[in-house]
Amino acid sequence: MHIRHQINWIKLLVVCLLCLLTLAEEHSNHTSVCPGYQASQISSSPHGLKALLTINGTPCDIYGNDIEELVLTVALDFTNYLRVHIEDVAGKQYQIPNSVIQLNKNSRMAYAQHNSLDFSHSHDNKSGFGFKVLRGNDIIFDTVGHPLIFEDQYIEITSSLPENANIYGIGETPNWFRRDPNNTIMTLWNRDAPDPFRDNVYGSHTVYMELRENGHFHGAYLHNSHGMDIVLHNNTIQYRVLGGTADFYFFSGPTALDVISQYTELVGRPSRIPYWSLGFHNCRYGYKSAHEVNEVIASYAQAKIPLEVAWTDIDYMDRERDFTFNPSNFSLQEMRAQLDYLHAHDQKMILIIDPAIQFNSTYGTYARGHSQNVFIKNADGSEYIGQVWPGYTTFPDWFAVNTSSWWNDELRRYYAALPIDGMWIDMNEASSFCTGSCGSGKPKDEVPRLPWTMDNPPPPRPLDKSNRILVPPYAIHNPEMELSTKTIETTAVHANGVIEYHVHNLYGYMESKLTYDFMTSYRRNKRAFLLSRSTFAGSGALVSHWTGDNWSTWHDLHVSIATVFDFGIFGIPMVGADICGFIGNATEELCARWIELGAFYPFSRVHNSIDMKSQEIYRWNTVAEAGRRALAVRYALLPYIYSCYQEAVEHGWPVARPLIFEFSTIQETVDNDRQLLLGDSILISPVLIQGARSVDAFFPEGWWYDWYNFSLVSGTNANVTLDAPLEHVNVHIRAGRIIPTQHAGMTTTETRSSDYTLIVAADKQGTAVGKLYVDDGETFDTPSRWLDVNFSDRSLWICSRSGNYEIQRPLSKLVLLGILGVRAVTVNGIAVNSVIEVTSGSTIVTGLNVDLNREIRIALL
């Protein structure tokens, strides 16, 4: 970067910091006059507490009307979390209904004999009621000294934080993984925006985790669908919410994985995915024909680069209308032929749909929906009409009684025409290109030109600043002109009488729910693969996610790691960024480095935008070679990655993890978002700097083995400079772990048909542990099997922990890292005629034929 650019960036950062400090100071002065509340009528029980909260003086009414009587409910029903709910006595404030998100739906938590968290409250004359949540002697949430503000359109709750706190989570916002504790405003208001740094984008997640000095994590989640700012400043975390109630859940940890497990137990565990979705995916916006997509599929095969799924963006549609096919370039006949070809080669097809439905009486999907009254309305009862790709559009109202049956019927017609393998729902914030119901009064067959080429765009509707729903008194830090910009207007009305203001952030979640329910009922007992751009708490139980419209820059390459980590906290482990970037023209070097990282995103897909330079992985020789090498590692690791994903299903644990999750007492890991772990055992150290041919990788204390040549790095909680030629990504195996692998094929089917290899990475004590999960990878009611694998005293023990799935392929190879002196091998006491090779301080044993369905002891003699 040039010096002048560096100076400009520094000036910009200083200005932003001064603005933030000024806003924080003004806000603090504004709210300091608020009296808080006083608790009375307190009743306690072994499972919690209940109290009446009454305004403690003259209402301040700073952003609305103070609600003078509230109900406090504290529930300690479960061992690992505590609920604090503050709501209005009258029950008029909007709350997320159980019919939309049912918390604890499949909870297996036992009711608490003793909760690991505790609650206390106090009162002072200045700030009124305050409360603390404690874990032993550790205060993890503390509002004492900060007045509670509870108004009809504004709630403010502030908790003290330790100095320089380690906070993770809250979003969706492209940001560094560790949030700046003194200069962060996280805005939660779903919007269609091309991944601007530190601004709100497609989803809303209020959950956060904090790491304390003792290496222990805890977490908190606010169950509220309104727009809000969550502000980290002056050693506090402050919630500024545009309505609803203060419904908090606190999680005791103490590990990062414990917090995520406790959170996903509450909102929903991640969904089970089909095995094939862990393969490599290709897409772009701008393919001109099915023939061009066919050429791309063939080119991957010719380049010997694995391709699992071919995606097509809105290009395949007839005039960008859902559930249609362009008769000229993507005819249904051609699409069926393409699908048949893919299936014959063990590959898959996924297509996109958007929620916006063209406002056109001759369009069957709209006509059927209109007759069933399924679209969102204006206040006068007319259909709300925005503008998206197909022109003027209506938007399904997921609250309307007929929407589910109508949506199912449209999807059923679509799947009957072309039985694709998965679905991609985009633009579901929901996105609209105009502000307000710009199509009201237009003929139903009028199709305007796209907004960026429109000669006479619809004039912006007048903004009524006196309308507190359009312009709330407190302005959250949404960068758009108003909350309704580029989305459904906040005054739009749903069938249950609720206005969009209260439920905007739920729109994408509700579309995901109906679509997932269709996919799992239409193909009974088949796991669905559903990708959604907009997400909310609990979306991981329904969908996978990609990080949206990122940019082909080195900055976005780096930030992608932090965003993947964020979604691990949010309970959506199947996540990835568009490899090589969506917007802009990726250079050869950037694309090579990106596929080296992206090959290890849980969801691995290259994708770019229309009119941009093509960036399929085979386009450059160096990128092709980098892709072959990195994807060969990914495909070999599929048994391990799938086992990690099953742990996500069972426990909520993320697949891609930051080092801090595993090494929480090492200070150097608290802000490391330059490397990632797959599970707890595979360390990826990508190059993130243009022109670099080495990488400074942090290695926690212990042994780490190079994936490729088995060389040993002895970690000392310090950086090690590693060679990183353009076509190479550094991958290391953590000592003390056993990694199940298979021979990398061109598809997941080919890979799964090969024999197993166990990589035994011995630690300094000569021990290692591992596990393997196996099922059919397709159905819900499949038999399954968990294997535990342990190595000690030069013996490898393999036993079934649970399940009776019949594992088809044998164990034929051992890679024994750090183990020498092997002269012979026995299996259950019987000598086997194996081939033993010594290389790079390690031993490779081949020629085994071990049945993994029975108890096994392999002894090294």
- What CATH number should be reported for the domain holding residue 411? 3.20.20.80
Residue 37 has pLDDT above 70, yes or no: yes
At residue 188, the pLDDT reads 98
In one letter, which amino acid is 82?
L
Q: In terms of domains, do 150 and 294 share one?
A: no
Label residue 294 exposed, middle or buried (CB < 10 Å: 0-12, 13-18, 19+): middle
Task: Place 677 in a pLDDT band, splitting at 50, 70 and 90.
Answer: very high
Task: Place 47 in a pLDDT band, splitting at 50, 70 and 90.
Answer: confident
pLDDT in tens, 753-791: 999 999 999 999 999 999 999 999 999 999 999 999 999
Q: Write the DSSP string, 678-747.
A: ETTTEEEE---STT-SEEEEEE-SEEEEETTT--EEEE-SEEEEEE--TT--EEEEETTEEEEEE---SS
Count the helices and strands in the chain (H runs, E runs).
14, 47
Tell me the C-alpha distance between 632 and 309, whole Å: 16
Coil/strand/helix, residue 407: helix
What CATH number is given to the structural domain containing 772?
A: 2.60.40.1180
Contact (CB, 8 A) for 167 and 208: yes
Contact (CB, 8 A) for 197 and 559: yes
Contact (CB, 8 A) for 486 and 432: yes
- DSSP, res 249: E
Task: Place 10 in a pLDDT band, splitting at 50, 70 and 90.
Answer: very low
At residue 24, the pLDDT reads 52
At residue 450, the pLDDT reads 67
Instruction: Using alpha carbons, select from 649, 555, 639, 568 the residue that is nearest to residue 603.
Output: 568
Q: In terms of domains, do 24 and 37 share one?
A: no
Residue 392 has pLDDT above 80, yes or no: yes
Q: Region 68-86: what's the mean pLDDT?
A: 93
Q: In terms of domains, do 284 and 347 share one?
A: yes
At residue 11, the pLDDT reads 41
Contact (CB, 8 A) for 634 and 280: yes
662 in a structural domain? no
196 in a structural domain? yes
Q: Which residue do the tokens 């100076």 mark?
A: 7
Q: In terms of domains, do 312 and 227 share one?
A: no
pLDDT in tens, 394-444: 999 999 999 999 999 999 999 999 999 999 999 999 999 999 999 999 998
606 in a structural domain? no
Q: What is the mean pLDDT of the chain?
A: 94
Q: Region 66-91: what's the mean pLDDT?
A: 94
In one letter, which amino acid is 679?
G
Tell me the C-alpha distance between 830 and 861, whole Å: 12
Instruction: Using alpha carbons, select from 312, 315, 276, 282 the residue that is nearest to residue 299.
Output: 282
User: Which residues, listed in sequence order, are joined to residue 49 by a DSSP beta bridge?
Assistant: 44, 74
Look at 76-85, 338-347, 651-660 and tell me which has the smallest mean pLDDT. Answer: 76-85
Q: How many domains does the chain have?
A: 4
- DSSP, res 80: S
pLDDT in tens, 701-749: 999 999 999 999 999 999 999 999 999 999 999 999 999 999 999 999 9
Considering 502, 519, 554, which residue would you say is the last residue of a domain? 554
At residue 9, the pLDDT reads 40
At residue 481, the pLDDT reads 87
Residue 640 has pLDDT above 70, yes or no: yes
Considering 514, 537, 554, which residue would you say is the last residue of a domain? 554
Report residue 588: phi and psi, to 5°.
-60, -45
pLDDT in tens, 642-655: 999 999 999 999 99
Tell me the C-alpha distance between 96 and 248, whole Å: 13
- Predicted TM-score (pTM) of the model is 0.95
- DSSP, res 377: B
At residue 452, the pLDDT reads 57
123 in a structural domain? yes
Look at 19-28, 311-320, 380-389 and tell me which has the smallest mean pLDDT. Answer: 19-28
Q: In terms of domains, do 254 and 336 share one?
A: no
At residue 502, the pLDDT reads 98
What CATH number is given to the structural domain containing 194?
A: 2.60.40.1760
Preceding omega of 654 cis (within 30 degrees of 0):
no
Residues making up the chain, counted from first to last: 861
Label residue 12 exposed, middle or buried (CB < 10 Å: 0-12, 13-18, 19+): exposed
Task: Place 2 in a pLDDT band, splitting at 50, 70 and 90.
Answer: very low
Within 10 angstroms of residue 255's Cβ, the number of other Cβ atoms is 14
Tell me the C-alpha distance between 700 and 679, whole Å: 15
In one letter, which amino acid is 107?
S
pLDDT in tens, 516-543: 999 999 999 999 999 999 999 999 999 9
Tell me the C-alpha distance between 373 and 126, whole Å: 53
Q: Region 598-616: what's the mean pLDDT?
A: 97
Coil/strand/helix, residue 4: helix
User: Which residues, listed in sequence order, are joined to residue 575 by a DSSP beta bridge?
Assistant: 545
Task: Place 7 in a pLDDT band, splitting at 50, 70 and 90.
Answer: very low
Look at 6-10, 376-380, 713-717, 731-735 and tell me which has the smallest mean pLDDT. Answer: 6-10
Residue 691 has pLDDT above 90, yes or no: yes
Contact (CB, 8 A) for 694 and 724: yes
134 in a structural domain? yes
826-832 contacts at long range (C-beta below 8 A, 24 or more positions apart) = 826/858, 826/859, 826/861, 827/856, 827/857, 827/858, 828/855, 828/856, 828/857, 829/857, 829/859
How far CA 714 is from CA of 560, 668, 680, 720, 724, in Å, comes to: 28, 17, 17, 10, 18
Catalytic site positions: 426, 429, 549
Instruction: Using alpha carbons, select from 270, 241, 274, 260 the residue that is nearest to residue 347.
Output: 274
More confident residue, 822 or 45: 822
Q: In terms of domains, do 322 and 394 share one?
A: yes
Contacts of 343 (CB under 8 A, 6+ apart): none
Label residue 761 exposed, middle or buried (CB < 10 Å: 0-12, 13-18, 19+): buried
Look at 108-112, 353-357, 712-716, 834-838 and tell me which has the smallest mean pLDDT. Answer: 108-112
Contacts of 861 (CB under 8 A, 6+ apart): 794, 822, 823, 824, 825, 826
H-state helical runs in 218-331:
256-267, 290-302
At residue 454, the pLDDT reads 55
Preceding omega of 430 cis (within 30 degrees of 0):
yes
Q: Region 108-112: what's the mean pLDDT?
A: 55
137-141 contacts at long range (C-beta below 8 A, 24 or more positions apart) = 138/212, 138/214, 138/216, 138/218, 140/210, 140/218, 140/220, 140/250, 141/220, 141/248, 141/250
Look at 15-24, 192-201, 601-610, 619-628 and tell me which has the smallest mean pLDDT. Answer: 15-24
Tell me the C-alpha distance between 535 and 429, whole Å: 8
Task: Tell me which H or E stretch contains 334.
Answer: helix 332-344
| Domain of 783, in residue numbers | 755-860
Contact (CB, 8 A) for 545 and 532: yes
At residue 132, the pLDDT reads 98
Q: In terms of domains, do 302 and 258 share one?
A: no
Residue 96 has pLDDT above 70, yes or no: yes
Q: Region 171-190: what's the mean pLDDT?
A: 97
pLDDT in tens, 483-502: 999 999 999 999 999 999 99
At residue 455, the pLDDT reads 58
Radius of gyration (C-alpha) of the chain in whole angstroms:
28
Considering 237, 267, 297, which residue would you say is the last residue of a domain? 267
681 in a structural domain? no
Q: Which residue do the tokens 């909350």 mark?
A: 483
Contacts of 700 (CB under 8 A, 6+ apart): 659, 662, 663, 666, 669, 715, 717
Tell me the C-alpha distance between 69 and 55, whole Å: 7
Contacts of 193 (CB under 8 A, 6+ apart): 199, 200, 201, 202, 479, 549
Q: Which residue do the tokens 């859940």 mark?
A: 249
Residue 806 has pLDDT above 60, yes or no: yes
Q: In terms of domains, do 431 and 522 share one?
A: yes
Instruction: Using alpha carbons, select from 814, 813, 809 the residue that is nearest to residue 754.
Output: 809
Residue 5 has pLDDT above 90, yes or no: no
Q: In terms of domains, do 24 and 154 share one?
A: no
Phi-psi region of 304 (alpha: psi -120 to 50; beta: other; left: phi over 0): left
At residue 160, the pLDDT reads 98
Q: In terms of domains, do 227 and 105 share one?
A: yes
Coil/strand/helix, residue 564: helix
Q: In terms of domains, do 457 and 409 share one?
A: yes
750 in a structural domain? no
In one letter, which amino acid is 674?
R
Tell me the C-alpha distance between 192 and 19, whole Å: 25
Task: Place 27 in a pLDDT band, splitting at 50, 70 and 90.
Answer: confident
- Range 129-141 burial, b when 16+ CB lie within 10 A, else e: bbbbbbbeeebbb
Label residue 443 exposed, middle or buried (CB < 10 Å: 0-12, 13-18, 19+): exposed
Alpha carbon 264 to its chain's center: 12
Half-sphere exposure of 38 (CA within 13 A, CB side): 10
Q: What share of the chain has pLDDT > 90, as a percent? A: 91
Q: In terms of domains, do 389 and 324 share one?
A: yes
Q: Region 178-201: what's the mean pLDDT?
A: 97
152 in a structural domain? yes
